[in-house]
């Protein structure tokens, strides 16, 4: 089995250097790498060229059109039997391709997704963000989880498709705002077999500070409404949780400001939630500092997603604007 690894890139030369270094460590050697520079001002050509004696690697520069269409550009030029997509801010364990190859041969999946985790080299903030995005106490608990809610939808930070899937679907039809979920839904609708490979973990750096994390999650909240516009049945109650949480926070603040008797109940519920996050993160990360930061990351994740979700829910569903 020969893999084609497609990585869209936009103004992140340092990140791609780190990712490519991890690919040189792969125990399974049958793969090529395609870097699609999507109109970057800070291009990574020199960095990619430095790996030409270590990897079967190609570099392409195109005008900016967004990551979904950048992946399609890579699919069109890929030579593999199976295409794998990573985000540029991922680190790939040495046994990743070996693990995927063995699982695909045994289970004959047409498309797959894998979970993400925190690398030991991550900063405490990055570890807290990674925890929040995979925690059972946030909506992160439905990502890369055997017990996920509803149909499993691979995400493009760690996703693979067969050459046949590419030929039948034509790839991404959205370039951003939930493009990977929309793509996964279409793959399902055509009868292809999709599954989670639990051991195909990547280390996903995501954002390095909480402000950038807020902007990313606000975008994700808006993206969920974009998916709803294409596939109404894919909007589940769990997707409303961040919005409900955000409203609850605002209500709690209001009740405390005006001395309502209900404020004590709200405060108790918040305290229990905070303690659950703290002790669970401490157990997972073995660090009280990361556990404290995980509280902040979880609140940022839920409020940012909730506000983005409510913004586009009001605009695109209630007011029916595009």
pLDDT digits (tens, 9 = 90+) for 77-121: 999 999 999 999 999 999 999 999 999 999 999 999 999 888 888
**pLDDT on residue 233:** 83
CATH superfamily ID and name for 3-124+142-206: Spore Coat Polysaccharide Biosynthesis Protein SpsA; Chain A (3.90.550.10)
Percent pLDDT > 90 in the chain is 79
Whether 75 has a pLDDT exceeding 70, the answer reads yes
Which of 173-182, 283-292, 295-304, 309-318 has the lowest average pLDDT? 173-182
Whether 291 has a pLDDT exceeding 90, the answer reads yes
**Among the listed residues 76, 93, 79, 15, the one whose alpha carbon sits nearest the alpha carbon of residue 48:** 15
Mean residue pLDDT of the chain comes to 92
Per DSSP, the chain holds a count of helices (H) and strands (E) of 11, 10
Radius of gyration of the chain (CA): 20
Q: Is the dihedral of CA 225, 139, 215, 245 positive or negative?
A: positive
**pLDDT on residue 142:** 47
Q: Which two tokens stand for residue 172?
A: 């991404």
Distance of CA 80 to the CA centre of its chain: 24
The domain limits of the chain are 3-124+142-206, 221-318
CB atoms within 10 A of CB 288: 11
Strand partners, 94: none
| Predicted TM-score (pTM) of this structure | 0.85
Whether 290 has a pLDDT exceeding 70, the answer reads yes
């Amino acid at each position: 089995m020969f893999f084609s690894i497609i990585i869209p890139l936009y103004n992140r030369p340092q990140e791609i250097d780190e990712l490519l270094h991890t690919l040189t460590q792969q125990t399974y050697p049958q793969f090529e790498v395609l870097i699609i520079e999507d109109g970057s001002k800070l291009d990574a050509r020199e960095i990619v060229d430095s790996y030409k004696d270590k990897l079967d690697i190609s570099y392409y520069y195109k005008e900016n059109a967004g990551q979904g269409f950048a992946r399609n550009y890579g699919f069109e030029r890929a030579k593999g039997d199976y295409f794998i997509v990573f985000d540029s801010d991922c680190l790939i364990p040495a046994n990743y391709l070996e693990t995927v190859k063995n699982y695909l041969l045994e289970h004959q999946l047409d498309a797959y997704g894998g979970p993400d985790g925190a690398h030991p080299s991550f900063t405490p903030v990055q570890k807290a963000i990674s925890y929040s995005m995979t925690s059972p106490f946030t909506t992160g608990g439905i990502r890369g989880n055997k017990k996920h809610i509803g149909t499993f939808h691979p995400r493009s930070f760690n996703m693979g498709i067969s050459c046949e899937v590419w030929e039948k679907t034509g790839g991404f039809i959205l370039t951003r705002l939930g493009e990977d979920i929309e793509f996964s839904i279409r793959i399902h609708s055509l009868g292809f077999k999709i599954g989670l490979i639990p051991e195909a973990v990547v280390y996903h750096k995501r954002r390095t500070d909480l402000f950038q994390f807020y902007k990313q999650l606000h975008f994700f909240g808006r993206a969920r409404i974009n998916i709803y516009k294409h596939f109404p049945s894919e909007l589940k109650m769990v997707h409303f949780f961040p919005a409900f949480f955000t409203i609850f926070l605002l209500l709690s603040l209001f009740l405390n400001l005006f001395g309502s008797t209900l404020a004590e109940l709200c405060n108790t519920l918040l305290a229990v939630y905070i303690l659950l996050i703290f002790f669970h993160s401490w157990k997972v990360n073995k660090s009280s500092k990361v556990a404290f930061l995980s509280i902040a990351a979880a609140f940022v994740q839920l409020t940012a997603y909730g506000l983005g979700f409510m913004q586009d829910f009001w605009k695109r569903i209630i007011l029916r604007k595009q």
